[in-house]
Amino acid sequence: MKLRVANIEFYYDSTLALRNIVFETSEGELTSIIGPNGAGKTTLLKVIARLLKPRKGVVYVDGVDLWRLSPREVAKKIAYSSTYVSEGFNTTVLDYLLTARYPHARLLSLIDREEDLGVIENVLSKLDISHLADRRLDQLSSGELQRVLIARLLVQEPKVLLIDEPTAHLDLRYQLESMELLREITLRENLVTIITTHKLWIAAKYSDKTILLDKGRIVAIGSPEEVITPENIVSTYRVKIKVYRDPQLGLIVVPLEPV
Amino acid sequence: MSIRRLYRLRIKRFLFSLIFSLILLFLIVVLSLSIGSSEYGFLDVLRLFHHDFLSVFGINSSRPEGYDRIALIVYSIRFPRTLVALLAGAGLGIAGVLIQAITRNPLAEPFLLGLSSTSLTVVGASILLVPGLLYVRAYIVLVAFLGALLGFSLTMSLSELAGGSALTLILAGIAVSSAFSGLAHIIAFLVQVKFNTPFLILLLGSFSNVLKSDIFPMIISLLIGFTASIILSKALNAILYGDEYASQLGYNPRHIRRLSALFSALLTGVTVAIAGIIGFVGLVVPHIARFLVGSDHRIVVPLSAVIGGLVLLLADIIARILSYSTGISGIPVGAITSMIGAPFFAYLLVKRMRGT
């Protein structure tokens, strides 16, 4: 299982948003996309999710061009995080998770199969949130909601996991919990996981591969040590940082001041 | 609780709610058939049903004395009105479910979003332009459908212009429905005076002038609308979590929204064409259904159809009882649904805007 992004070029109307994006990532790998606001992180994730069509370039999943697949076939391979929850409809966690099985059912079939319920049951117990199944989504705490959102991604049984800001709006404990969880399932389920993040320490601590984007281009790509350097960060974020390598703690990133 | 048990529980809840509301519906149908200017009441209708039900199976083949007259009144006079009210309610209930889902707004419904008054305006205007249309039901229904569609697109565009929030949608709906309601009043006067036909009553919604020939278009539209909504039900579930979510599951949210708008306009339009403007049924019914069985549209759609029939038929019964007991003939059913629905709307508004 491999994801290959080849020469992507994307425009919003006539404004360049992504240019010459090339990289590759394989199963069991967690990749972080970092970069200042407006660098194109979310756009890139959406292009890989087939939510946006690039003007040029191809995204290959296992050698197959995404745009040659139907949206439903893509939905079986790729799950993209989406965090909107309507209020006033009393939707429960189970309602939400059932929808994530739709790509696997036959198009016009109305029933949920035994297998679908089995997958949901497994994912919920793996994430230790079986007790939330009957709760209303709009009454969950942000930590619970984050787990439910990750559960949905897994219930979809994708090969590629794309998550925009998995630690946004979470306190420190939940940030760590969510990232530990993501790293663990990436390895255990052999997924290709790509996240975007504003937090350099998250990229440093959890990613196998880091991509630094700026103005729609890849500035640096490689291991966190290779990418998160004072030179790279000052030229993109315009922030001075100090980086330590600790034999036990790994990469330590300390932001100093804006320049 | 395990997922499977939870799941079985919700299926049970659905079946229970469905059976319970069907039984209730049957009783209300009998009740509806028992009300009229002639003296035959609830028990007469039940006895007639019992007898005719048995004769379907070849038992007691001829009706006892007096039953022919009851049968005539019940089947030819009271039955069309009852059936049309029931079908209209089912249609408005489903239309409400569709509109609430695609706007992701539990305060939305066909009347509040201006579908009904634009529909009636367009019907009236087309009768004035082509007087022959008045007697061609199929055309009236088609025109009413197009009018409802126009209303929905106007409200949606206006709401988008104003920023596209839950509140702007409702306000845009008020703007569109007020404007067209004014227009509909003028046109309704013209039609009524010019063609000497009861048209003003359609502004308030009424089943008083329902004919046997109205049953067929109602059934056809409801069948189309119901089938389509069931087919769309999974996509509607997905769209509740946002367009992006629906897209990443492989649905095209724009198609889903257009199709749903089309079918809700059909269901609203056919009711407007036959019975006029009936508000709030599309608002109240989906809430009752969701309260009973949760948010899954695969079960909310069929349950809303039954509850919609139930609610509107009950409203019509109240209207008729009020008419007979006060001697004021033809109290419109739309007045009853507004009296019950508007306070419910106010309650939802407060609940939603305070975020509780």
Residue for token pair 């139907």? A70
How close, in Å, is residue B103 to chain A by CA atoms?
A: 10
User: So what's the pLDDT on residue B16?
Assistant: 97
A105 pLDDT more than 80: yes
Q: Which residue of B has its CA nearest to A123?
A: B3
User: So what's the pLDDT on residue A250?
Assistant: 87
- For residue B64 the two structure tokens come to 């006892």
Q: Do A72 and B250 touch (CB under 8 A)?
A: yes
Q: How far apart are the first and last CA of chain A?
A: 42
Q: Do A89 and B7 touch (CB under 8 A)?
A: no
User: So what's the pLDDT on residue B229?
Assistant: 98
Q: Which of A75, A87, A91 sits opposite B249 (nearest CB)?
A: A75
Mutate to test the interface with B, among A67, A82, A98, A115 (most CBs of B within 10 A): A82
**CA-to-CA distance for B143 and B145, rounded, in angstroms?**
5
A236 pLDDT more than 90: yes
Percent of the residues in chain A that have a pLDDT greater than 90, as a whole number = 83
Question: For chain B, which residues lie within 8 Å of any Cβ of chain A, measuring from their own Cβ?
Answer: 1-4, 6-7, 10, 100, 104-107, 230-231, 233-234, 237-238, 240-242, 244-245, 247-252, 290-291, 294-296, 298, 348, 352, 355
The predicted model gives B156-175 an average pLDDT of: 90
- Identify the CA nearest to B298 among candidates B232, B225, B222: B232
B46 pLDDT more than 90: no
Compute chain B's Rg from CA coordinates: 21
Mutate to test the interface with A, among B6, B248, B290, B356 (most CBs of A within 10 A): B248
Q: Which domains does chain B have, with CATH numbers?
A: 82-353 (1.10.3470.10)
B37 pLDDT more than 90: no
B177 pLDDT more than 60: yes
User: So what's the pLDDT on residue B61?
Assistant: 65
The predicted model gives B12-37 an average pLDDT of: 94
Q: Which of B241, B244, B252 sits opposite A99 (nearest CB)?
A: B241
Amino acid letter for position B186: I
Mutate to test the interface with A, among B5, B109, B236, B241 (most CBs of A within 10 A): B241
**CA-to-CA distance for B260 and B4, rounded, in angstroms?**
31
User: So what's the pLDDT on residue B1?
Assistant: 67
Measured at the CA of A91, the angle between CA A195 and CA B22, to 5 degrees, comes to 150
B331 pLDDT more than 80: yes
A85 pLDDT more than 60: yes
- Give strand pairing partners of A254: A242
Identify the weakest region by mean pLDDT among A37-46, B36-45, B94-103: B36-45
Tally of CB atoms within 10 A around B64: 10
User: So what's the pLDDT on residue B335?
Assistant: 94
Antiparallel, parallel or unpaired: β A2-12 and A56-61: antiparallel
- Give strand pairing partners of A255: A241
Instruction: Measure CA A185 to chain center.
Output: 13
B119-141 pLDDT, tens digit per residue, is 999 999 999 999 888 788 889 99
Q: Which residues in A lie closer than 8 A to residue B105 (C-beta atoms)?
A: 88
Contacts of B135 (CB under 8 A, 6+ apart): none
User: So what's the pLDDT on residue A239?
Assistant: 95
User: So what's the pLDDT on residue B75?
Assistant: 85
> Cα dist. B168→A232, A241, B351 in Å?
45, 46, 17
Beta strands in chain B (DSSP E): none
- Identify the CA nearest to B127 among candidates B116, B143, B149, B150: B143
Expressed as residue numbers, the domain containing A92 is 2-258
**CA-to-CA distance for A129 and A118, rounded, in angstroms?**
15
Whether the CA torsion B139, B141, B143, B146 is positive or negative: it is: negative
- For residue B277 the two structure tokens come to 């403007």
The predicted model gives B148-177 an average pLDDT of: 92
Q: In what order do the strands lie in the sheet with A160-164?
A: A78-80, A160-164, A192-196, A29-34, A209-214, A217-222
User: So what's the pLDDT on residue B60?
Assistant: 67
User: So what's the pLDDT on residue A108?
Assistant: 86
B352 pLDDT more than 90: no
B356 pLDDT more than 60: no
Q: Do A90 and B2 touch (CB under 8 A)?
A: no
* Cβ proximity of B285 and B304 under 8 Å: yes
Mutate to test the interface with A, among B2, B3, B8, B283 (most CBs of A within 10 A): B3
* Cβ proximity of B261 and B225 under 8 Å: no
Beta strands in chain A (DSSP E): 2-12, 15-26, 29-34, 56-61, 64-65, 78-80, 160-164, 192-196, 209-214, 217-222, 239-246, 250-258
3-state secondary structure of A24: strand
Q: Which residues in A lie closer than 8 A to residue B242 (C-beta atoms)?
A: 82, 84, 86
User: So what's the pLDDT on residue B355?
Assistant: 66
Q: Do A82 and B245 touch (CB under 8 A)?
A: yes
- For residue B81 the two structure tokens come to 């009105």
- ipTM, two decimals, is 0.92
**Length reported for chain B:** 356
Q: Do A86 and B241 touch (CB under 8 A)?
A: yes
What is the number of structural domains in chain A?
1
- Residue A178 sits in a domain of what CATH number? 3.40.50.300
**CA-to-CA distance for B108 and A166, rounded, in angstroms?**
33
- Identify the CA nearest to A48 among candidates B248, B220, B225, B325: B248
Q: Which residues in A lie closer than 8 A to residue B295 (C-beta atoms)?
A: 89-92, 95
What value does the mean pLDDT of chain B take?
Answer: 92
How close, in Å, is residue B211 to chain A by CA atoms?
A: 37
Q: How far apart are the first and last CA of chain B?
A: 27
Q: Which of A102, A112, A121 sits opposite B238 (nearest CB)?
A: A102
More confident residue, B260 or B52: B260
**CA-to-CA distance for A88 and B119, rounded, in angstroms?**
28
